[in-house]
Amino acid sequence: MSTQSVLAAAQEAKPNYKTRDEIPTQYKWNLDDMYKTKAEWEADVKKTEELAKDFTKHQGKLGNSVAELKQALEDYSVLSRYFEKAYIYANLGFDANSSNPDLQTMADRTEAMLAVVNEKTAWLTPEITEIPDAKLKELLASPELATFKYMVEDTVRTKQHTLSKDKEELLAQVAPINDAPGTIYNMLAKDIKFPKIKDESGKEVQLTRANFISYMESTDRNVRKAAFDAYYGAMGGFQDTLASTLASHVKTHNINAKTHNYKSAVEAALTPNNIPVSVYEQLVGTVNDNLDLLHRYMDLKKRMLKVDELHMYDIYTTLVENNHGYISYEQAQKMVLDGLQPMGKEYTDVLQTAFKDRWVDVYSTDDKRSGAYQWGAYDSHPYLLMNYQGTLDDVNTLAHELGHAMHSYYSGKNQHYINSNYPTFTAEVASTLNEALMFQNMYQNAKNTQEKMYLLNSYLENFRATLFRQTQFAEFEKLIHEKEAAGESLNATNLKKWYLDINKKYYGETMISDEGIAMEWARIPHFYRNFYVYQYATSFAASAALAKQVLDEGQPAVDRIRTKFLSQGNAKAPIEILKDAGVDMSTSKPVEQAMDLFKDTLDELEALIAQAEKEKPTPHKPHGIGVKINGKDQHFDTAPQNVNGTVIVPMRAIFELLGATIKWDDATQTVTATKGNTTVTLKVGATTATVNGTSVTLAQPAQITNGRALVPTRFVGEALGAKVEWDAANNTVVITH
């Protein structure tokens, strides 16, 4: 298949489904692959609880013999497989259709099942750790326990941090209380009401958690500032409650660390996953050593946005125009398959099976869980939840989640259940590897400088949002745990000060760290996930290194990554798995190499921008057509065209030259332009447009040409109050305003 230009992706109407029943079957995941009937699922729920209760027969016997320990672990695996399949099936169904009361009941039923399983298996880890070292060594020397050797050794590795059976069982019972701060935060964040703001057309719109970032991406700076001030102003009204909730969460971590004999909360969070604290510290240190690169990127943002001061509300808006339009799901599949060809035919064949056999739940409805994820049981294929909107980000998200799916697929295929569930530290490497390969493919096949600049800017933003921003969060998270452990108050005033200080350090002197950004910690739900975010940054660095190996070495690197990494699950320590695959995260080298890549990407974008600025535009008149505004010839990067007797010109350029502010909606391919009291709405391909709500028939619809939206010149000029004439002698549209 020939590579498709991003900007030349298929232009199709965006589906808009209100209910799940409206969605065609091919776009909904096939949960029948797990259970054909509800009765089958109910039988497994019942079987799970029976197995859990029966599992206690092994209690007190694990150290008796190889046979006893092996049988107990085999039974635990069987129990876990029954539980996992029934639990995931119910929750997949509910996530896709949460307004269905039957599905809600099924999901609730699995929580009761989970409580039984936890209660009846809580003794397992403490009892393994209580087996005398010499006896355990003797047991594990048996070939019969080879499959379980790493799991048992990994369990006793934290032996000094495991309490007695009675105490661990008690902690298991009170675990829901420890989760309360996160639950309260989620409910509070959901209930906070944000004020209305004015959008690009001057219309009042309701600001929400869901649409906040879309307004922060607006090309209208007034809209960005309004959204920023309104959002953080509202959060600030609850700052004491939000601070108290986070403080309680941090306190539970510190208490847990102390109770289990850890030196710190970060050690308590990383040690169970066999990640040295030095990895966390090296990440923060290396990123701090390279903050000058982020500062340089902020300088570029300021120049490109042409602002006197760069503010935090400018951070999300794009530097380079993107008019790729709506990308159909079918086209997204092709782009993903094309972009991941370097991973080999075996890999892409499985992806094609995923598309054909409905592993993916594609489109959103009002009652579908937001975001995207990959999930599945050992005894099922992976499933992907998407809320596909047809943007380039959605295409990358699809590739990302398929990376998780392939990790699950290969690990499940090659590992015993007990070793198949990989940790987050390696999980995000598999997914971001796909994103890195997608970028390289799209960039190599970009059709023009504009597209290259857009892709480079997007890649830099990925760096900023992942490697820099997640490390910034990790630094703040570690700091507040240390402050609380030292007896300092985690009140709102302190949290805001500490966060603002770190933000200023990361973004440098070019950036105005507005007062509102001091409340950003209250917007980040990941602070309730216990030292989780650092793994996004380490994974980004690791995947960048692996992607380079795939592109440089070809099949040998692909084979190594598939067998030594994707197929390993949790059969070895995550650091060792990645080292076998070709990247050593116990050193700072991968992060340093990622910083070099960021610098190279920044260099390349700056060079393209400088080249574009130096090249003086010349009139494009392949059809003998010119445009003159107020007596001055206008030069466009895409030539004006005569289509059926109507001159069409680049959309953004003509609107802005005539003093209008515009908002482009990629999903619907619609532009809304505002000038004073006039609002013009124009959709690509439509035969009519609206001016202040009144429908106007167009002589020629707007169209996409070489990645640019072109619009009828006379209509735009007259709609915005200008005089438009045709100078036949000079083949020129003359506009006076």
Q: Are 706 and 638 in contact (CB under 8 A)?
A: yes
Amino acid at 391: T
* 621 Cβ contact partners less than 8 Å away, ≥ 6 residues apart: 639, 640, 731
Cα 505 versus chain centre, distance: 25
Q: What are 599-604's contacts with CB under 8 Å, separation 24+?
A: 599/293, 601/456, 601/459, 601/460, 601/463, 602/293, 602/296, 602/297, 602/300, 602/460, 604/456
- ∠ at Cα 35 (30, 41), nearest 5°? 135
In angstroms, the CA 233 to CA 432 distance is 34
Which backbone phi and psi does 159 adopt, to 5 degrees?
Answer: -55, -45
Q: Are 704 and 713 in contact (CB under 8 A)?
A: no
Sheet with 646-650, edge to edge strand ranges: 641-643, 646-650, 708-712, 703-705
In angstroms, the CA 182 to CA 247 distance is 11
End-to-end CA distance of the chain: 49
Which backbone phi and psi does 711 adopt, to 5 degrees?
Answer: -125, 155
Continuous segment of H or E residues that includes residue 222: helix 221-236
Amino acid at 378: Y
Burial class (CB in 10 A: 0-12, 13-18, 19+), 262: buried
10 Å Cβ neighbour count for 309?
9
102-132 burial: b if 16+ Cβ within 10 Å, else e: ebeebbebbeebeebbeebbbbbbbbbbbbe
How many C-alpha atoms does 453 have within 13 Å on its Cβ side? 20
10 Å Cβ neighbour count for 616?
6
Q: Are 436 and 404 in contact (CB under 8 A)?
A: no
In angstroms, the CA 565 to CA 552 distance is 18
Q: Which two tokens mark 332?
A: 């997204």
| Positions marked catalytic | 401
Amino acid at 493: T
Q: What are 259-267's contacts with CB under 8 Å, separation 24+?
A: 259/163, 259/171, 260/161, 260/162, 260/163, 261/160, 261/161, 262/161, 264/481, 264/482, 264/485, 265/481, 265/485, 265/530, 265/531, 266/478, 266/481, 266/531
* 343 Cβ contact partners less than 8 Å away, ≥ 6 residues apart: 437, 550, 558
